[in-house]
Structure 1
Amino acid sequence: MRMQTNFIERQNIYAESYRISYSSWGNPDAKKTLLCLHGLNRNGRDFDYVAEYFLKFDYYIVAPDLPGRGNSSYLQDGRGYNLDSTIADLTALIEQLELKNIDCIGTSLGGAMGLMLASMPQNKFNKLILNDIGAEVELAGIIRIATYSGEDLDFSSFEEACNYYRQYSLNDGIYDDSVWLHMFSHSFQKNSNRRWELKRDRKVAASLAEGMLSNGNIDLWEFWKRISHPTLIIHGINSDLLLESTIEKMQHLQPQTKVLTIEDAGHSPYLYRQEHLKRIAQFLMS
């Protein structure tokens, strides 16, 4: 079934109206939903391979572009790019689309959002997949991401943009040139000067990093302690955001938690390989 792109209308506490774009696959009346949440600088098209694989399991698959990313609106006031506003946006998306029986897979920041949503009372989540994110996020990794995320760069050609940002994506575990091309084809756009730039508002990283860096390591333990959902943690073994000690503590608190370790990736694994998608499917179908 072909992908569709739609949007919902939102207004934040700063009285700013904006649109949230989302990609969807499958039948909206399906009995279960796969909600896919992307990382800080990314967008919902990161889950194209996931969607293609999971359509055969009769999911309605939804992958939003968070505000300031992909095809969603850029906010004039960067203060709107905060965790509370993002949670409110995702809650509105779930309600407006009447999503039900939700299995959620979130990469990095998207995983943190999924964890927070799944910890709320009367949520509609069934199972949770955290892609290289845990209940504690290491400061060193945050600093690394914040450093390159805040760069205001553009490039004269698509190839130049790809070559530059590929150096920051080597930990994604991509070993197929066609996958690199697919990812980057949905990562860049031409700006008003006809130069190539990332499809994201630079204020996103600045706003989120300001709060994160002032508090040291990100602590999501209070949310994790409230999780009763079966959870799969995907761990890029070379990750500088998710440590094995954090995973061990999470499993101690929630013994039902499963782990999929990806040996040739760091932060954060790009989900396209059949062997990894098969393991995810085994978890979701169990």
Structure 2
Amino acid sequence: MAAYTNVYWWSADGVRLHARDYGGGDDAPTDGRPPLLCIPGLTRNARDYKAFAEAHAGEWRVIAVSLRGRGESGYAKDAMSYVPLTYMQDIEALLVDQKIDRFALVGTSLGGIVGMLLAGARGGRIAGALINDVGPEIDAAGLSRIRGYVGKGSSCPTWLHAARTVAEANRDIYPDWGLEEWLAMAKRLYRLTSAGRIVLDYDLRIAEPFRVPGAESGPDMWSALAALGDAPVLVVRGERSDILSGPVAERMIAALPDATLATVPGIGHAPTLAEPEAAGAIGAWLDKVRARH
């Protein structure tokens, strides 16, 4: 199990934020390669990148973020701050706090949107980008599905009940998973309260701005994507994704000079990045980032 240190920093509006830092400080790689900055999806947190960090920490410094309102990060007073632009500003504050001038981005779903916004703000500092199952245009069917469940509370008496709840909601996305995978996913999504109940580990109010049309992304995401320039880019897509369509993924690859598409067969939104097709492509992408740096 890869060791990590907890990093805390403050947002401009006074929210205490959290990230897991695998391989920082004295354990950081000595060849100057950029850290991997990992940003999770809408209802996820830093735990979502545990397996990714265990696969790459040691060779790379891996920083896994919990966005405001998730995991160990504080909840916002203003629910309307749960939008991509504010998340981007929170990450900017982390980069300043950690004195990070250059990094490689790993973003899943909402995390990929935030990453593209970071590129749009100043793309030259991004040494490479792994964009997991999201693009500048989001499929309407997927948005409708997400709006149907986000912000609805769920409480379970045991971890087994939580695993069954997660399986019922996601069986179409991961059709080959068994109890072990569902239990692991439940422990990424839920937390145990002091009262002994198992509840979703995010502020249910993140749903409030998400229900506003257009609030899920930014105003000109294709320009934000283009700001990645000639940095190595890997787009990972679930074959059955209802968020990133095949045509949009192909258009993303065509829009960038050094971009590759990896499709994970048989699953929906979003790949865990541990699938063989994703893991192999990630290894090749990291080789490019290392060589370029």
Letter in 1 for 2:200: L
Distance 1:70 1:174 in 2: 27
Change (3 A) 1:48 1:123: same
Superposition pairs of residues 154-193 of structure 1, within 5 angstroms: 154-170=155-171, 171-172=173-174, 175=177, 177-191=179-193
Task: Kindly state the Cα deviation for residue 251 of structure 1 after the two structures are TM-superposed.
Answer: 2.4
Residues 125-157 of structure 1: per-residue CA shift (max 9 Å, x gap): 110011001121112211101111121232232
Change (3 A) 1:251 1:214: closer
Letter in 2 for 1:19: R
Task: Kindly state the Cα deviation for residue 193 of structure 1 after the two structures are TM-superposed.
Answer: 5.2
Contact preservation (8 Å) 2:253, 2:259 = yes
**Counterpart residue number, 1:138:** 139
Residues 169-197 of structure 1: per-residue CA shift (max 9 Å, x gap): 33157736444333322321234654221
Superposition pairs of residues 1-286 of structure 1, within 5 angstroms: 1-12=2-13, 17-28=14-25, 29-30=28-29, 31=32, 32-56=34-58, 58-121=59-122, 123-170=124-171, 171-172=173-174, 175=177, 177-191=179-193, 194-212=196-214, 220-228=221-229, 229-274=231-276, 276-286=278-288
Change (3 A) 1:75 1:143: same
SS in 2 for 1:35: strand
Task: Kindly state the Cα deviation for residue 263 of structure 1 after the two structures are TM-superposed.
Answer: 0.3
Contact preservation (8 Å) 2:239, 2:267 = yes
Which has the larger displacement, 33-42 or 270-279? 270-279
Contact preservation (8 Å) 1:41, 1:69 = yes
Letter in 1 for 2:69: G
Length, aligned pairs only? 280
Any stretches of 5+ residues in structure 2 without a counterpart? 289-293
Change (3 A) 1:85 1:184: same
Change (3 A) 1:198 1:175: same
Distance 1:278 1:188 in 2: 29
Which has the larger displacement, 194-203 or 84-93? 194-203
SS in 2 for 1:11: coil
Distance 1:214 1:105 in 2: 18
Task: Kindly state the Cα deviation for residue 253 of structure 1 after the two structures are TM-superposed.
Answer: 2.0
Task: Kindly state the Cα deviation for residue 158 of structure 1 after the two structures are TM-superposed.
Answer: 2.4
Contact preservation (8 Å) 2:139, 2:244 = yes
Task: State the TM-score, normalized to the length of structure 2.
Answer: 0.87
Change (3 A) 1:103 1:176: farther
Distance 2:241 2:123 in 1: 33
Change (3 A) 1:146 1:218: farther
After TM superposition, which residue ranges in structure 1, 4 or more long, deviate above 4 angstroms? none
Task: Kindly state the Cα deviation for residue 119 of structure 1 after the two structures are TM-superposed.
Answer: 2.5
Contact preservation (8 Å) 1:127, 1:231 = yes
Change (3 A) 1:37 1:249: same
Distance 1:250 1:214 in 2: 19
Distance 1:275 1:137 in 2: 23
SS in 2 for 1:136: coil
Task: Kindly state the Cα deviation for residue 218 of structure 1 after the two structures are TM-superposed.
Answer: 8.1
Task: State the TM-score, normalized to the length of structure 1.
Answer: 0.89
Letter in 2 for 1:273: E
Task: Kindly state the Cα deviation for residue 108 of structure 1 after the two structures are TM-superposed.
Answer: 0.3
Letter in 1 for 2:5: Q
Distance 1:166 1:257 in 2: 33
Distance 1:92 1:195 in 2: 34
Task: Kindly state the Cα deviation for residue 211 of structure 1 after the two structures are TM-superposed.
Answer: 4.2
Which has the larger displacement, 168-177 or 261-270? 168-177
Task: Kindly state the Cα deviation for residue 164 of structure 1 after the two structures are TM-superposed.
Answer: 1.1
Contact preservation (8 Å) 1:137, 1:218 = no
